[in-house]
Amino acid sequence: MTAMTRRVWNFSAGPAAMPEPVLQRAQAELLDWHGRGMSVMEMSHRGADFTSIAHKTEADLRTLLAVPAQYKLLFLQGGALAQNAIVPLNLLPAGGVADYVDTGHWAQKSIAEARKYGEVNVAASAADAQYTCVPAQADWRPSASASYVHVTTNETIGGVEWFWIPDTGATPLVADASSHLLSRPLDVSRFGVIYAGAQKNIGPAGLTLVIVREDLLGRARRECPSVFDYAVQAKAGSMYNTPATFGIYLAGLTFEWLIAQGGLAAIERANIAKADALYAEIDRSGFYRNPVRRSDRSRMNVPFFLPDDRLNEPFLAGAAQRGLVQLKGHRAVGGMRDSIYNAMPLAGVLALVEWMREFERQHG
């Protein structure tokens, strides 16, 4: 970075902060990647150089997440919301039914989209608990013949995270893991499909990661667009059409950074330390409030409320003066929300905690 560069502590929910070493490396390689005299952006996606980048990116992700051999990794476009349609187009036959678990804002988006393509059974909902917890599997009402079961494993707005994986037997489990994938180890073998938009923990917006078990390929409906047919893209190595090449390159740099940090077990320890520091401060005095059941509190997205909404603006203004930005809660929820993805260092969280204490002394 140049001497003039001033970086803030960015708590955005997404697009979110990226690891600074990744940005520095991208900057250093921007004009001339490895002596080729061009940017990765300017390369043919089918050339040897970009092919090597794509292969390394995929191999590093397989290593990081310990992805079993019978799973394909797809690098697609359209974000998680496109997957909400692409999943039923690939897995839900005409006249079929799919089970969904309603844990809040993003689960509801998935449910509404799936209803365009078939019957949706909401097998469980946290509505009665104001979306402050994950419904226990003992209380679910699954349908007899669901083509798959869909869960949203981290509700980015509500701040509710699953720390267990449901047992759906032979029915494939599909997860929107957009806002916590790669924040900790995950047993991929328990899922049929995992998808995530990149702009939280993976890289820049414009790239979608899909992990799909091989036996689920080849079931797409006739009307499924070819670029979104998992089997077509798996066969083509995600290059049926031009992929988001620069996004894949940045995701690859992010995976290298994660491996250098010690992998997902190490990043999980760091994420626990960050989340613990923040929730401890929220719970310390009763001035701040987080309504989520303790066992289901997200380590990535931490919403909290001040005792009076009129304090929101002064809290945000003082935070901004200290270089703490993007703390305003989602408009659907209000209050504050701080997203503390992998790229947020503990120092940023501690700076926020310090401001929370000072603000409480001023207004408590």
Ligand X SMILES: *Cc1c(COP(=O)(O)O)cnc(C)c1O
Does position 333 interact with ligand X (CB under 6 A)? The reply is: no
Region binding ligand X by CB under 6 A among candidate stretches 172-180, 185-193, 242-250, 351-359: 172-180
Q: Which of 178, 238, 298, 326 binds ligand X (CB under 6 A)?
A: 178
Please give the structure tokens belonging to residue 115. 């209803």
Helix (H) or strand (E) holding 198: none
Report yes or no: 106 and 156 within 8 Å, Cβ to Cβ.
Answer: yes
Nearer to ligand X, 14 or 247 (CB): 14
Q: Does position 159 bind ligand X by CB under 6 A?
A: no
In terms of residues, how long is the chain? 364
φ, ψ (nearest 5 deg) of residue 168: -105, 20
Residue type (1 letter), 39: S
**With respect to ligand X, which residue has the nearer C-beta, 209 or 356?**
209
Q: How far is the CB of 6 from ligand X (least distance, A)?
A: 27
Strand partners for 302: 338
Report d(CA 292, CA 63) in Å as an integer. Answer: 33
Greatest pairwise CA separation for the chain in angstroms:
63
Q: Rounded to an integer, what is the distance from CA 187 to the centroid of its chain?
A: 16
Please provide residue 248's backbone torsions phi and psi, each rounded to the nearest 5 degrees. -65, -45
State the burial class of residue 119 (Cβ atoms within 10 Å of its Cβ: 0-12, 13-18, 19+).
middle
For ligand X, the closer CB: 81 or 129: 81
| Candidate segments 73-81, 122-130, 239-247, 330-338, binder of ligand X by CB under 6 A | 73-81
Q: How far is the CB of 203 from ligand X (least distance, A)?
A: 12
- Is position 202 an interface residue for ligand X (rule: CB under 6 A)? no
Q: How many residues bind ligand X (CB under 6 A)?
A: 11
CA distance 326 to 312: 13
Q: How far is CA 16 from CA 76, 143, 173, 205, 341, in A?
A: 19, 37, 27, 9, 8
Member of 12, 108, 147, 179 binding ligand X (CB under 6 A): 179
Integer-rounded Cα radius of gyration of the chain: 21
- Does position 326 interact with ligand X (CB under 6 A)? The reply is no
Q: Tell me the closest approach of the beta carbon of residue 93 to ligand X, in angstroms.
A: 25
Residues marked active site are found at 106, 176, 200
- Name beta bridge partners: 337: 303
With beta carbons less than 8 A apart as the criterion, state whether 9 and 278 touch: no
212 is a contact residue toward ligand X (CB under 6 A): no
106 lies in the binding site for ligand X (CB under 6 A): yes
Distance of alpha carbon 276 from the chain centroid: 20
The residues with which 101 forms a beta bridge, in sequence order, are 124
Binder among 25, 56, 62, 81 for ligand X (CB under 6 A):
81
| Residue numbers 182-201 binding ligand X by CB under 6 A | 197
Q: Interface with ligand X by CB under 6 A: which range of 173-181, 233-241, 272-280, 283-291?
A: 173-181
User: Among 80, 174, 258, 292, which residue sits at the site for ligand X (rule: CB under 6 A)?
Assistant: 80
Instruction: Yes or no: say if 114 and 92 are a contact pair by the CB < 8 Å rule.
Output: yes
Pick 43 or 193: Cβ nearer ligand X: 193
User: Which of helix, strand or coil describes residue 299?
Assistant: coil
Which range of residues in 76-84, 261-269, 285-293, 311-319 is near ligand X by CB under 6 A?
76-84
Task: State the nearest-atom distance from the C-beta of 12 to ligand X, in Å.
Answer: 11
Segment 8 to 37, residues that bind ligand X, using CB under 6 A: 14
Binding to ligand X by residue 129, rule CB under 6 A? no
Query: What is the binding site for ligand X (CB under 6 A)?
Result: 14, 79-81, 106, 152, 156, 176, 178-179, 197
